[in-house]
Each structure stands twice: as C-alpha cells, then as structure tokens.
Structure 1
C-alpha cells in the first residue's frame, strides 16, 4: 500500500504526439513558484518524439514518472496517473497548455489549507492567428463572465483530493471526449462544490485550422450526446435553426420577416462582439474584420455541433453497453 503525503502535490497529465507543445509546457512547469512533489505523465502511444523529449527533461523536472499505455484515451490515462500518485493532493492539466507561474501555488493552496475538496482555475486562450482569435471570441468566456455557482471547469485546470476521485469512480473510460464535463457532473451529484480560484490560470492553444476546429466541436457534441449532457442546450440549437429555415422559406411571401428576426441575430452575436474588443485590443483592423468573420464561424461551429450530436445519439446505445461492461469489471 502506498503512503499518502498529506500536503504533497502530484501533478498528472496525459500526452499523445505533443512534440511541438511539450517543451513550452515543461518550461512553464519549471517556472512555477511552487513545484509539485511528483509529476506523472501517461503517454497514450505517441508516434513522434514526445517520449524522447520527456526523457530529456527528466532530470530537470525531478521525480518524473512516465507511463506508456498505448491506445489509452484521456480518461484511462488520467485514471492510471492518479492511481500511481503517492500524494493525496492531485492536480490535473493538459500538456497542450502553458501554466501561469503562480498556477500550481494558487490551485493547490485551498486543498492544503483544508478549505476545499475540489478546486478549479481558469483556462484562457493562447490565440495567435486571426482565426484563433475569432474562435476565442466566439467560444471562450471572458473572466468576468464566469460565475462560480455554475462554473464547469475543464480538467486542464482542476485539483482535488485523491479520495474524491475514488468516491466518484474516476474519469469515465467509456467516453473518449467530454470526459471532464462528465467528471464534473459526477462531482456535483456526489455533493461536491467546485471552488473557483481565478488566480490559477492556464493558457491553451486554440485549434489552428478550420478542419481541426470542426473535428473538435463535432467531438464535443458527440460526447455530450453519448453521455446525455446538456440536452436542453442542443435542443435549443436544433430548434433555432429549424425556425430559421422555416423563416427563410417564408421570406418570398413575407419579405420583412428576416428584418423582424435581425434583433435575435444581434443578441446571438452580442457576446462574441463584446469579447472581440478584448481579444483584438491591439489590432483594431483585425477586430473589424472579425465582426465580418465571426457570424460565419458561429454557423460553422453550430453545424459541427449538430452533426456531432446526431452522431453521438446514434452511438449512444453502444456506449451504454460499453459503460455497463466496464462497470461490471470493477
């Protein structure tokens, strides 16, 4: 049996083909004002130089454990890493991020002080290209928009006691994407509140191409459908576009109908437009062009989400069967 360190911190993460982002992540880890007592990385079967880069940093990171588990999804990788951890305090992140220098200190403090069982920080976009900045404005809420009572964090920025992970049954290994939201819902059902620490910030790269963006949001929505998450949100989206199609079909007979619907479109665009002022604050021309591009990007994302949700609904019976099989093995 492992001896748990009461206030030691284990940082866990998964990795797959991250040779491009890994050095930046490790550099940000080495720059932390408070370093973890151990770092556990599960490699799901990288085919690039990820594993070699990890080994080259081993001495500098200190107490680094790398577990190779070919084919492991994110949930499986996180569960393996947490099970291996010798500390009671678990901090989870993703390698595709850069960590603010005070991130680990800030996110672990409430756990060490005993004022919380689950703590989460903020994921802020590391948007570099015009497309990435538009995506950030469309999809990532500003810090002041986030309310602790309804906050559902990404597991690229979350911390908890190991027994909490045990009580909720870990991350759902039957779910390839959306696993962090499913984990959050299990925490809430078990009565755990998630304390938001706004000073704990990670910066994550946005997808760089339209193809990658479509796959990402298709996958998110597919995960929602397979896990039964956010059904009202998706129903509203389908209903809205159905109503829009009906309105467009009637517009030859009622030419003023699109004008009557324009206030609804402005409401839909209001948050991205406000965010664009912040995202493009040093590029006024880019901000103006973003106002033209964002409506099309939002339509593109909605199409990806609707296609993904339908795909997930079709796969849901198989996922239920897989879920039952995995539970029977426990």
Structure 2
C-alpha cells in the first residue's frame, strides 16, 4: 500500500446529529491518517459548531437548501480537495472499524483501478428483507469490473455507491467529475465514465460501513421514481443497460431466502415493496410525459421539476 497518498474525505451534511458526531470521531481515529475532512453543510442554522472542535482538519462549507444537488454539491467539494484520493461518504454511513480508509485505498496500488467502493452492512434494527438486499448487493467477496464485463454483468458493471466510494482525484478531474444536475445516481453516472475510459472499479468487501434504511412502500416508490428519472435523463448510459432483469433476479433470490428461513409471511411485504419500486421506476421513466405537479408529488426532490 502506498502510504504517501494524500486522502481527503467529503461528506454532505444536513441537520447533523449525535450519531454524525460519533461518525466523525470514528473517522478521526482511522489507522490511515486523513489529510482533510470537507463537510458541505446544508443550512448553517442547523449546524453543530462543536463538530469543528473535534479536529483542525475539519473544513466546513455552508450552502442553502435550494443550492444542494447530489452531483453539483459533491463536485464542489472534490474541487476543494488537494488529495490524491477523495473518499465520498454520506453522513449516515458508520465506520465498521478503524481500517476503513486503509482498506479503501489499498486497491489503488493497481494503476488500473480508478474507483473503489465499500461494503454496506445492515444496522441492528434493519428488517430481514433489507438485510438480505444488503448481502445481495454487497457480497462478502471483493471483485473488479471493467468494460469487458458489460456483456456478463450489464448495469452492475457501473455500480458504485457514494455512501462510501473513493476516486483518483486526477482521473476525476480529467473525466469531468459528477454531473452538475443530478436527482440521483451521480456515482453511477461518473462510474460509467470511468469504465468507458478504460478504468476499473473495485468493490472491496474488506472496507465496511454500516448503512441501511427501513423504507416504507411509499418511500420506495419515491426513491425509485427518482431512479427512473435518472435513467430517462441519461439514455446514453442506461438505454442499453437493462436494470429490470437485475430487480427480478433479486426478488426471486429474496423469495428463496425467506422460504429457507421459514418466513413465508414476509413474502407479502416483499411483493408489496417490490411492486412499489417497480411502479415508481416505470413512472419515473416517463416523467417527461407527466405534469410537473405530479412529478413533484412522486419525487424526493421537488426543485428538480421547477
């Protein structure tokens, strides 16, 4: 491992709570020394200034809520970085251990690797179906994806998650970074650039964060509506990378898992949530044909449709 790599961590923050303060304490105690922690905080009135006292390596930039964008905000933070590697995280991603940063940068010893993303493990309160979804999307074995994998893995070839993902800064700058107007999936949009430019994306199962959500069916609808909107806005990426087949595969696999676990009663919840995901996604795909007001009701990001 190259110990000379300068690493910056970037986290968009909104209404930072006690848990985030604990997350920052864990990041400050990592085995690999981080150069700087760049926090982009939405709405200064919600900011807890005591977080800044944790370390002089913490830099905070305040923005207004209407300024926040998944791509543009993170891109602004990356441009502030002087690191060789930038690690993007979300404020609700909790370090599993003190080796997260160390494990995130290890794969960069291979020059072909331009991005690395971490394994996401479920929280203690995570429901059984979501626990299995975590294991399906984030298995216990690492892998690498390149352009040669499109035929076999389809959309999974460009899978990457900014819940915890690292990028070579020079490559990020050269390829143009995250999109400036992104309702969702700014990570996969950039991952597509990496793959098509000849780089590799490494999934490191040894780099672990705790991250999961117990979404309701309605929340799944909203979230997947935004995914559909992203796919509609970027046909150059997603038109030939069918995602519905992956969804069906996951549902069938989850059904087998629930039956094996002796939990057939949870099949109703699985079908309901899967249905809400599918309807939300299909609605998002045709959002340009829908009234703006309806899109705002369906989405998690109303300002995207103004």
TM-score (norm 1): 0.71
Q: For 1:25-174, what aligned pairs fall within 5 Å after superposition?
A: 25-45=23-43, 49=46, 51-52=47-48, 55-70=49-64, 71-101=67-97, 102-111=99-108, 116-126=113-123, 128-130=125-127, 133-138=128-133, 140-143=136-139, 147-149=143-145, 150=157, 152-174=159-181
Deviations 1:186-206 (A, max 9, x none): 111221111232201222131
**Residue aligned with 2:210, SS:** strand
Correspondence 1:188 to 2:195 = yes
**Residue aligned with 1:171, SS:** coil
- Counterpart Cα distance in 2 of 1:124 and 1:93: 14
Deviations 1:136-178 (A, max 9, x none): 4357525058753336111222212211110110110122212
Shift of 1:288: 3.7
**Residue aligned with 1:153, SS:** coil
- Counterpart Cα distance in 2 of 1:129 and 1:235: 25
Name the larger-Rg structure: 1
Partner of 2:239: 231
- Counterpart Cα distance in 1 of 2:79 and 2:172: 10
Distance 1:269 1:159, change over 3 A: closer
Tell me if structure 1 keeps the 8 A contact 2:225–2:285. Answer: yes
**Residue aligned with 1:205, SS:** coil
**Residue aligned with 1:160, SS:** strand
TM-score (norm 2): 0.76
Correspondence 1:310 to 2:299 = no
Tell me if structure 2 keeps the 8 A contact 1:234–1:306. Answer: no
**Residue aligned with 1:148, SS:** strand
Report how many aligned residue pairs link the two structures. 272
Deviations 1:253-275 (A, max 9, x none): xxxxxxxxxxxx9x774311345
Partner of 1:272: 254
Tell me if structure 2 keeps the 8 A contact 1:135–1:297. Answer: no
Distance 1:69 1:81, change over 3 A: same
Shift of 1:292: 3.2
Shift of 1:36: 1.2
**Residue aligned with 1:143, SS:** coil
Deviations 1:54-86 (A, max 9, x none): x21223244100111221212122111111112
- Counterpart Cα distance in 2 of 1:8 and 1:138: 34
For the aligned residue pairs, the C-alpha RMSD in angstroms reads 3.2
Tell me if structure 2 keeps the 8 A contact 1:127–1:206. Answer: no
Moved more, 16-25 or 301-310: 16-25
- Counterpart Cα distance in 2 of 1:127 and 1:302: 27
Unaligned runs of 5+ in 2: 146-156, 292-306
Please state which structure has a larger fraction of its residues in helix. Answer: 1
